[in-house]
Amino acid sequence: MTLPAEKDHFLGQIVEEASDGLYRYAVVLSRDRVEAQDLVQETCVRAIKAVDSLRPGTNVKSWLFTILRNIWFNQLRRRRAAPKVVELDMEEAPAQNGVGASEDPHSIYVSKVERQHVREAIQQLPLEFREVVLLREYEELSYEDIASVLGCPRGTVMSRLGRARSKLRSLLSEKG
């Protein structure tokens, strides 16, 4: 397929003549159908942006395959150059997982153990206390928002939270 004189037909020709072949080639490269679809889509986007740079007589099909192949290799290079992703304990907020330059492994361990003790103590609370603690301390909702969520007055939320914190203090002092 060569570039037609009217570039208006270019998009239709991509879809009709090259998309199936591009997809098959992308599947061979990536070994993943979803990634192959993304590669074809990115190829079409880049081709549309560069269509004005093509000269009459250019083999558009080979040009598209070249674009696809270049995108694939660029992605591979980025993956190899990117730092390896380390899975974090997903129960903790990402900010709590960051290791500061001044933190030693022992303090990190102690902090993790303390968080686990707090989680266990919260699980021992009655449901009405557990709800207000989680909504206030972890979700950072206001007293008014918690009252709305639970369908009770603001004073009840404050009272439950006070009693929950008191109970947590006693549970945590027993552990440690």
Which band of pLDDT confidence, cut at 50, 70 and 90, is reported for residue 59?
confident
Give the pLDDT confidence score for residue 58 in this predicted structure. Answer: 77
Which band of pLDDT confidence, cut at 50, 70 and 90, is reported for residue 90?
very low
Give the pLDDT confidence score for residue 88 in this predicted structure. Answer: 38
Query: Model confidence over 144-163: pLDDT tens digits?
Result: 888 887 889 999 999 999 99
pLDDT of residue 12 exceeding 70: no
Under CATH, what is the fold of the domain 7-81? Answer: Rna Polymerase Sigma Factor; Chain: A (1.10.1740)
Average pLDDT on 90-108 reads: 60
Under CATH, what is the fold of the domain 109-175? Answer: Arc Repressor Mutant, subunit A (1.10.10)
Q: What is the domain partition of the chain in residue ranges?
A: 7-81, 109-175
Tokens of 74: 């660029």
Lowest mean pLDDT among 30-34, 45-49, 113-117, 127-131: 127-131
Query: How many whole angstroms from its chain centre is CA 41?
Result: 21
Cβ contact 21:69 at 8 Å = no
Per-residue H/E/C for 48-80:
HHHHHHCCCCCEHHHHHHHHHHHHHHHHHHHHH
- Chain length of the chain: 176
Q: In whole angstroms, give the CA distance from residue 16 to residue 45.
A: 16
Give the pLDDT confidence score for residue 35 in this predicted structure. Answer: 94
**Residue 39, SS3?**
helix
Q: Computed over its alpha carbons, how large is the radius of gyration of the chain?
A: 29
